[in-house]
Amino acid sequence: MKTSQCTDAPRVALFQGSFDPFTRGHESIVRRALKLFDEVVIAIGVNINKQSFMTMDERRAWIESVFSDEPRVRVMAYTGLTIDVARQVGATCFLRGVRMIQDFETEMHMAEVNRELSGLETVLLYTLPKDSHVSSSIVRELVKYGRDVTDYLPSTVNPALIPDHWKVNNQH
């Protein structure tokens, strides 16, 4: 088993997910993590169990627009194992958000495997109560039925990147 060493190296958190789409809850996790880390790398991965809602390029542009004011956030797309990306970017830990107890159980198992394979710890930040119901899945579902989702998206996203049909409020 590998172990992490404390050094004077920058503290780099790797925040991995499909981010399809990136929500206000994701933004909150990253902005709060910047109080703990020197840099946050947002790694957009491919989830083979999900059909993509947005293209990888759209997601990357979206997230970069949210953090255009923050030089300590880096956005990248990747395929493969997250632990390999962590090594590539010099991550000192994994960053994950937890909305509810079900998330905790999943994250605990993932953290154990990641620690065994990479020696890196996982830092969990709890979602703020006002965002605990917001998920990419809910946003996708609302968009599918023509509902306005702008309240669930980061307020700092470039409005030009929000498709017009995401803003339409069709009452059914």
- Out of 18, 24, 26, 115, the active site residue is 26
Q: Which residues contact 135 (CB under 8 A, 6 or more apart)?
A: 23, 25, 99
Q: Is 26 a catalytic residue?
A: yes
* Residue of 18, 28, 135, 136 with catalytic role: 136
User: Is residue 118 one of the residues assigned to a domain?
Assistant: yes
Distances (CA, A) of 53 to 47, 58, 78: 11, 10, 17
Q: Does residue 39 fall inside a structural domain?
A: yes
Tell me whether residue 7 is in a domain.
Answer: no
Residue 99 falls within a domain, yes or no?
Answer: yes
Instruction: Read off the CATH number of the domain in which 34 is found.
Output: 3.40.50.620
Among the listed residues 4, 50, 52, 68, the single catalytic one is 50
Assign 2 a pLDDT band (cuts: 50, 70, 90): very low
Residue 78 counted as domain residue: yes
To the question of pTM greater than 0.85 for the whole model, the response is yes
Active site residue 35: no
Let me know if residue 163 belongs to a domain.
Answer: no
- Condensed to tens digits (0 to 9), the pLDDT of residues 135-160 reads 999 999 999 888 889 899 998 888 88
Domain count, the chain: 1
Decide if 172 is catalytic.
no
User: What is the span of the domain harbouring residue 58?
Assistant: 12-132
Share of the chain above pLDDT 70, in %: 92
CA distance 143 to 3: 44
Instruction: Flag whether 151 is in a domain.
Output: no
Identify which has the larger pLDDT, 49 or 111. Answer: 111
Question: Does residue 148 fall inside a structural domain?
Answer: no
